[in-house]
Amino acid sequence: MKCLIDRVKYVAIRILRQRFFWKAGFQQSVLIQRQRVDKSLKKPWIDAEYIVLKRLYQSSSVRDVMATLPGRSWRGIKNKAERLHLKREHRRQHLSNYRFWTAEEDNNFKLEYEKRNEGCNII
């Protein structure tokens, strides 16, 4: 593009306007309109929601927090919690999803390991 464009001029008045000056001699304008976010449409947080957030955010599940704060997205909840310096506990997966090896499985593993490494002499 540097070979083709001489310069780009930015004019920003509510609408981003870029004017390309091509090395071939002609000009081209591009208008980019961004949708304006109207902050008055956002629902302000009330004191009761702050209390719930402080009580539940750190140790409750995402599902429970969202159910207790209807009309709030998880992203909005996380942003508000971050501003309040709240952090979530790192949870590991439940141990019920895992099981320990039995003594028989341990012995079978040891036998298989020894059988495969019979010819290997590691010093």
Query: Exposed (0-12), middle (13-18) or buried (19+): which is 97, by Cβ within 10 Å?
Result: exposed
Could you read off the pLDDT of 1-39 as tens digits, one per residue?
556 666 666 666 566 777 777 877 888 877 777 666 665
Tell me the whole-structure pTM to 2 decimals.
0.44
Instruction: Count Cβ atoms below 10 Å from residue 17 Cβ, excluding itself.
Output: 15
CA distance 20 to 10: 9
- pLDDT for position 84: 93
Amino acid (one-letter) located at 45: W
Residue 10: both structure tokens together:
């930015």
User: What does the pLDDT read at residue 71?
Assistant: 87
How many other C-beta atoms lie within 10 A of the C-beta of residue 42?
Answer: 9
At which residue do the structure tokens 């010093």 appear?
123
